[in-house]
Amino acid sequence: MSTDYIGRFAPSPTGPLHTGSLVSALGSWADARHHNGKWLVRIEDIDPQRESPEATTQIVESLFAHGLHADENITYQHDNSQYYNEALDILRQQQKLYACTCTRKSLRALDQTNYPGTCRNQQHAEADLALRVLIEDATIAFKDLVLGQVTENVCQSVGDFIVRRRGPLYAYQLAVVVDDARQNITHVVRGSDLLDNTARQIALQRLLHCPQPEYLHLPLAVDDDGRKLSKQTGAQALDNSNALNNLREAWSLLGQKTPPESLVTCQQFLEHCKSHWCRDLVPLKSS
Ligand code: GLU
Ligand code: ZN
């Protein structure tokens, strides 16, 4: 196994795995395995109000039932506060961090897509307020391994964004950047619902002097009405007793060629996935 490639699957435990999340799990697994890389699993449990320990157990059991085994012990973001605080310190030392007292309501009233920097020079005491990172007005470009060149000016699209939420709770953008760097992740393979977070994450990587991984965004599994499969749209939990068929369905949603019917165990099927995975077949859009 090489350390030139370390990939990961990083679910938030908001519910059991469904077809959509299995597509991300299998896509990240296959891309890592095909390149003789490592594959890690990280449970992104930083929001106790939305997440539950039961969902964590269900996700872990479901991955196991589908033969998707991580190369190292599963890690949990709730263990990592110390590292997120260290990252906030780095931003604070660079004077890139400030507390924000704006409410959702006050921001909505501004009718602007990006945060206009209202609290930038207010010097609010941090206490448990939300903290925002100061973002420069510059275009960030990266090459997605499936979608090609993507550009975004974060300052204009979202503005100074939140890295620690009121509470305080660590924000996804901060936690994901810190952990991808700590775990030496080289390839981030995930659903394209996360595409528009990528430029923000790159902006943070630069401020924190973290290496920038490669990105590959997978098509989203959608329901018959074209809506993303998710708990919110009532996606069904995977039936672990039907694991092989679930893998077949996920593989087909990844645009890959149909494997022979003669593969009758998850293990045989995954061996096939490992050798036959082809990035060029991954569709740009879900069908
Ligand atoms: N935890 C995030 C989610 O489940 C995904 C994080 C990532 O892959 O960057 O939506
Ligand atoms: Zn503010």
Which ligand 1 atom sits closest to the C-alpha of 201? 9
Concatenated DSSP letters of 67-117: T---SS--EEGGG-HHHHHHHHHHHHHTT-EEEE---HHHHHHHT-SSB--
Give the model's confidence band at 23: pLDDT under 50 very low, under 70 low, under 90 confident, else very high: very high
- Annotated domain spans of the chain: 10-79+221-281, 81-172
pLDDT value for 10: 98
Specify whether the CB–CB gap between 133 and 97 falls below 8 A.
yes
Determine the average pLDDT of the residues in 188-217. Answer: 97
Q: In this predicted model, what pLDDT tens digit does every residue of 205-257 receive, in sequence order?
A: 999 999 999 999 998 877 777 777 776 676 899 999 999 999 999 999 999 99
Closest by CA to 62, choosing from 193, 250, 223, 220, is 250
Q: Which pLDDT belongs to residue 1? A: 64
Global pTM value: 0.95
Whether 140 lines ligand 1, by a CB cut-off of 6 Å, is no
The predicted pLDDT at position 223 comes to 72
Where do we find the tokens 């501004």?
110
Whether 194 is in the pocket of ligand 1, judged by its Cβ within 6 Å, is yes
**Closest ligand by atom to 129 CA:** 2
CA of 131 to the centre of ligand 2 (A): 9
Average pLDDT over residues 65-87: 98
- The pLDDT of 150-164, averaged and rounded, is 97
The domain 10-79+221-281: what is its CATH number? 3.40.50.620
- Our answer on whether the CB atom of 66 is closer than 6 Å to any ligand 1 atom is no
Contact between residue 2 and residue 37 where contact means Cβ atoms under 8 Å apart: yes
Q: Does residue 20's CB lie within 6 angstroms of at least one atom of ligand 1?
A: no
- State the Cα–Cα distance between residues 20 and 36, nearest whole angstrom: 25
pLDDT (tens digit per residue) in 89-109: 999 999 999 999 999 899 989
Which ligand ends up closest to the CA of 161? 2
Mean pLDDT of the 140-152 span: 97
Range 81-172 has CATH code 3.40.50.620: yes
